[in-house]
Structure 1
Amino acid sequence: MKIELAENYGFCFGVKRAIKKAEQIKNAATIGPLIHNNEEIMRLKKKFNVKTLNDVKELSDEKRAIIRTHGITKQDLENLKQKEIEIFDATCPFVTKPQQICEKMSKDGYEVVIFGDENHPEVKGVKSYVSTKAYVVLDKKELENINFSNKIAVVSQTTKKVKDFMEIVNFLILKVREVRVFNTICDATFKNQEAIAKLSQKSDIVIIVGGKNSSNTKQLFLIAKNYCSESYLIETKNELDRSWFQNKKLCGISAGASTPDWIIQEVVNEIRSFNIE
């Protein structure tokens, strides 16, 4: 059986930046999980004493705080600044961008539509910068019964599909007089999605490696599943089942933006150890 990695996969710029920052700072607490990968968070805790707190309220005698890659709310940031603690901002620049857009556009009188998951920390942070009305949606149907003002700005969660984002945009253009559109989908996310779509179409089995609470990883899995019915989402090599690979000729592999190379390599090595012919 042949194993082929997607053309683009794994750590994105923002995650690499955050991991490097955490390793350099050491002995710190992150506000929320730094990234959506439990194995890497455990490595940072064991090797660099970087612990994870759920929110700002859990800070006690910590001297250093790291803001997670997904960012935090505007109010949490203000509360953090009031504490006597050294702050290191590891918010991905691609996440900071929609925060800034929402703040500016709402100040200019625009209501804001955010395409994304309302419960996702990135979206919560972005929404907190809106001073007018904010609407968080995952489907254009959620917009049908809303009476918008004449001015709407639209942004997206960084890990969403461009195709789905455009459905939201096209709906609003037909309904609202003035629509300002900001494509805030991360370029790395787009490239990873394109790559797995291409690879899964020719694969007999696809393995997606990454945190099961990671939005971009779940998107990769859904794309793969659309083209290859035998697609699996795993966090570590321990979840692999040898029987999955019987009578398969090509195994495609991709990984979420928060998945480190060492975990991907462990998965590849484990699959090779099965000696599937």
Structure 2
Amino acid sequence: MKIELASSYGFCFGVKRAIKIAENAKDAATIGPLIHNNEEINRLRQNFNVKTLEGIDELTDEKKAIIRTHGITKSDLEQLNKSGINVIDATCPFVTKPQQICEKMSNEGYDIVIFGDENHPEIKGVKSYAKGNVYVVLEEDELKNVKLNQRVAVISQTTKKIEKFMQIVSFLMLKVKEVRVFNTICNATFENQEAVDALSKRADVMIIIGGKNSSNTKQLYSIAKQNCTDSYLIENETELNKIWFNNKDLCGISAGASTPDWIIQKVIDKIENFN
């Protein structure tokens, strides 16, 4: 059986930047999981004494607080800055952008529509920058009975699929007079999704590696599953099952933006041992 990696996969710019920030900070606490990968978070804790707090209310005697890649709410950031603690911002620049757009457009009187998961930390943070009406949706149907301003600004969670974003935009253009569209889906998401789509159309079995609470990893798995029935989402090599690879000719592998190379290599090594 041949093993082939997708042409684009794994750590994105924002995650690489955050990991480097955390390693250099040492002896710090992140506000929420720095990234959506438990294995990497454990490595940072063990090797660099970077612990994870669920929120700012768990801070005690920490001297340094790292803001997670997904960002935090505006009120939490303001409270942190007033606390006197050394605040180290590891928010991905691709997440900071929709925060800024949300604040600017709501200040100008636009209703804000966000394509994303209401409970995702990135969206909680972005939404907090809106001063007026803000609606978080996953489907255009959710907007059918909403009385929107005739001026609407639309943004997306950075890890969502462009096709669905376009559907929501098209719906709004038929519903209101003015729609300002900001494509805030990051390039790494585009590239990883296109790569897994192409590979999964040729593969007999697909392995997607990443945190099961990671939005971008789940999107990769969803795309792979559409093209290749035998697609599996795993966090590490211990979840692999030898039976998955019986009578397969091509195993495709991709990984979410928060998945480090060392985890990917362990998965490849174990699959090669199955061979």
The amino acid across from 2:81 in the alignment is K
The separation in 1 between residues aligned to 2:253 and 2:177, in whole angstroms, is: 45
- The offset of 1:261, in angstroms, is 0.2
- The offset of 1:29, in angstroms, is 0.1
Per the alignment, residue 136 of structure 1 pairs with 136
SS of equivalent to 1:87:
strand
The separation in 2 between residues aligned to 1:149 and 1:19, in whole angstroms, is: 41
- The offset of 1:84, in angstroms, is 1.9
Unmatched runs of 5 consecutive residues or more in structure 1: none
Aligned pairs for 1:18-167 within 5 A: 18-167=18-167
SS of equivalent to 2:83:
coil
- The offset of 1:223, in angstroms, is 0.2
The separation in 1 between residues aligned to 2:83 and 2:74, in whole angstroms, is: 15
RMSD: 0.3
The separation in 2 between residues aligned to 1:138 and 1:174, in whole angstroms, is: 18
The amino acid across from 1:141 in the alignment is D
- The offset of 1:82, in angstroms, is 1.4
The amino acid across from 2:158 in the alignment is T
The amino acid across from 1:18 in the alignment is A
The separation in 2 between residues aligned to 1:184 and 1:54, in whole angstroms, is: 26
The separation in 2 between residues aligned to 1:88 and 1:252, in whole angstroms, is: 38
The separation in 1 between residues aligned to 2:41 and 2:3, in whole angstroms, is: 28
The separation in 2 between residues aligned to 1:233 and 1:265, in whole angstroms, is: 16
- The offset of 1:234, in angstroms, is 0.1
The amino acid across from 1:78 in the alignment is E
Per the alignment, residue 15 of structure 1 pairs with 15
- The offset of 1:199, in angstroms, is 0.1
The separation in 2 between residues aligned to 1:149 and 1:29, in whole angstroms, is: 41
The amino acid across from 1:99 in the alignment is Q
| CA deviation profile, 1:128-152 (whole Å, cap 9, x unmatched) | 0000100000001101111111100
- The offset of 1:72, in angstroms, is 0.1
The separation in 2 between residues aligned to 1:31 and 1:190, in whole angstroms, is: 28
The separation in 1 between residues aligned to 2:58 and 2:25, in whole angstroms, is: 20
Aligned pairs for 1:184-195 within 5 A: 184-195=184-195
The amino acid across from 2:185 in the alignment is I
Aligned pairs for 1:191-230 within 5 A: 191-230=191-230
Per the alignment, residue 242 of structure 2 pairs with 242
Per the alignment, residue 4 of structure 2 pairs with 4
Percent same amino acid among aligned pairs?
Answer: 69
The separation in 1 between residues aligned to 2:47 and 2:207, in whole angstroms, is: 28
- The offset of 1:244, in angstroms, is 0.5
The separation in 1 between residues aligned to 2:32 and 2:209, in whole angstroms, is: 22
- The offset of 1:109, in angstroms, is 0.3
The separation in 2 between residues aligned to 1:143 and 1:84, in whole angstroms, is: 42
- The offset of 1:22, in angstroms, is 0.3
The count of corresponding residues between Structure 1 and Structure 2 is 275
Shift >4 Å, 4+ stretches: none
| CA deviation profile, 1:177-210 (whole Å, cap 9, x unmatched) | 0000000001000100000000000000000000
Normalised by the length of structure 1, the TM-score is 0.99
Normalised by the length of structure 2, the TM-score is 1.00
SS of equivalent to 1:45:
helix
The separation in 1 between residues aligned to 2:29 and 2:92, in whole angstroms, is: 17
| CA deviation profile, 1:38-76 (whole Å, cap 9, x unmatched) | 000000000000000000110010000000000000000
Aligned pairs for 1:250-269 within 5 A: 250-269=250-269
The separation in 2 between residues aligned to 1:145 and 1:196, in whole angstroms, is: 36
The separation in 2 between residues aligned to 1:149 and 1:250, in whole angstroms, is: 52
Unmatched runs of 5 consecutive residues or more in structure 2: none
